[in-house]
Amino acid sequence: GIQVEQSPPDLILQEGANSTLRCNFSDSVNNLQWFHQNPWGQLINLFYIPSGTKQNGRLSATTVATERYSLLYISSSQTTDSGVYFCAVHLSKRNSGNTPLVFGKGTRLSVIA
């Protein structure tokens, strides 16, 4: 099946720093989503971004589907950005049917004041 790899696995930042999280995937996809899981376990959908670039406040994401990767940028990080960031993809192959998203293992981010 499709492989989804996220890097780095762990990241520690000083408050105010910028960071880039990466998601590589092994096959063609028609759907890519980024999620943030806060320290209390709640998962929030940050971006639905099968291709191109989107921005939402201090966060932005870029997906280059032809090169099979996506990047999540966090600027001017705050302690509330701490948690785990997951990317998830859906295969675009004809025989993939309506199979669910495949998740990466996540990047654990700690922002220190």
Chain residues in the site for another protein (CB under 8 A): 30-31, 33, 35, 41-45, 48, 86, 88, 90, 98-101, 103-106
State in angstroms the smallest separation of the CB of 21 from another protein: 14
Which letter does DSSP use for residue 98 in this model? T
State in angstroms the smallest separation of the CB of 113 from another protein: 23
State in angstroms the smallest separation of the CB of 28 from another protein: 14
Report strand pairing: 69-74 vs 59-64. Answer: antiparallel
CA separation for the pair 3, 110 (Å, rounded): 25
Is the CB of 14 or the CB of 57 nearer to another protein? 57
Phi, psi of 77 (to 5 degrees): -60, 150
Q: How far apart are the first and last CA of the chain?
A: 40
Is the CB of 66 or the CB of 98 nearer to another protein? 98
